[in-house]
Structure 1
Amino acid sequence: MSDNGPAAETQEQLHGCPVIESRGQRVVLVPRGDYVKVMKALVADGFDMLVDLTGVDYLQMPDRNVGAGVVPERFEVVVNLLSISRRERLRVRVQVPGDEPTIATLFDVHPGSEAHERETFDMFGIVFEGHPDLTRILMPEDWQGHPLRKDYDPGRIPVQFKGANA
């Protein structure tokens, strides 16, 4: 296993999902349909602290090597877990298609994911199905679009300079 460049593939499996190593950390590549099931199993394994959850937009990298035969999609949901009892971190990566950016919520497994999922929805437009309050958390409710998407047009944001004559 290597800490350099793209994630190095291994033969390891965890709950039926391929495991790779990336930059010194184990990464589980979970299919979208198995996401909640695998996350529940990881809690049972002692990975009971959700450190963070976010999204990534790979619009400009459609042919990237995700590893272990996983088909890359436009979006990726990334969850970082911690097991205090095992003194171990684990990253979970789930591919989410751009034409259907939906994934199940983790709220019932990790209630602390509530704000993380709302932020990911707000910034990337990834819908967390079953979330109890999937509303914007950073942007105004009437905001159009999702600012961290690679195809978001930042030119739409008006910039005002104090004291400037227009």
Structure 2
Amino acid sequence: MTFSEIDSLLNAQFGADTFITNTQNLQPYMTVPVDRLVAVCQFLRDDERLFFDLLACVTAIDNGLEANTVEVVYNLTSIPYEHNLMLKVIVPRTDSRSDLPSVPSVAHIWRTADWHEREAFDLVGVRFDGHPDLRRILLPTDWVGHPLRIDYKEEEQYHGIKTN
């Protein structure tokens, strides 16, 4: 299935005003509103025409203080149908509940999201609401901050060891 066919199917299911489609990049993608992410992902996995059975990657990108947004990027694959799709959600850098952005977890849809979401939390500081075990995965539990945030300031020492 081509990107435009997937786009048409999703627009028919969720409404034409739900998605922002970008076909200018080498790999086209769809931007999904954060409040529709779980429903869209569930549909992408469960619909027999699509069957996106593999969440290959979840990546988070801090767009900086000026843009004041964070993007979470999902790369999906249908192994039997051999088609791919990139989804994005764009959220503010801070949430009303904390200084971290918040996105719903999709770990209950694809088990691979468990570790991918933990990595995005650990390095970029994206909180995944509903995640079954959201804790650091790469850095020590007492590490301060999220090193892939634009405004990250590295501590001078960690447990008496110089860090820079």
- Both proteins in one fold, TM over 0.5: yes
Q: TM-score range by the shorter chain?
A: 0.7 to 0.9
- Normalised TM-score (structure 1): 0.76
**Post-superposition offset of 1:26:** 2.7
Whether contact under 8 Å (2:156, 2:163) holds in the other structure is no
Q: Indicate the residue corresponding to 1:19 in structure 2.
A: 21
Aligned to 1:148: 148
Per-residue deviation at 1:85? 2.8
1:60 is displaced (CA, Å) by 5.3
Q: State the Cα distance separating 1:107 from its structure 2 match.
A: 0.9
Of the three residues 55, 62, 78, the one matched with 2:60 is 55
Letter in 1 for 2:135: T
Match status 1:138 vs 2:112: no
User: Structure 1 residues 110 and 92, CA, compared in 2 at 3 Å: closer, same or farther?
Assistant: same
- Which of structure 1's runs of 4+ aligned residues deviate more than 6 A? none
* CA RMSD, Structure 1 to Structure 2 (Å): 1.9
Residue 49 (structure 1) shift: 0.8
- Displacement of 1:18 after TM fit? 2.7
Q: How many residues align?
A: 139
Instruction: Answer yes or no: is 1:87 the counterpart of 2:70.
Output: no
Q: Which runs of 5+ in 1 are unaligned?
A: 1-11, 63-72, 161-166
- Cα–Cα, structure 1 residues 159 and 125, in superposed 2: closer, same or farther, change >3 Å? closer
Question: Could you tell me which amino acid in structure 2 is paired with residue 159 of structure 1?
Answer: T
Name the % identity: 37
Q: Partner of 2:72 in structure 1?
A: 77
Paired residue for 2:113? 113
Give the TM-score normalised by structure 2: 0.77
- Residue matched to 2:4: none
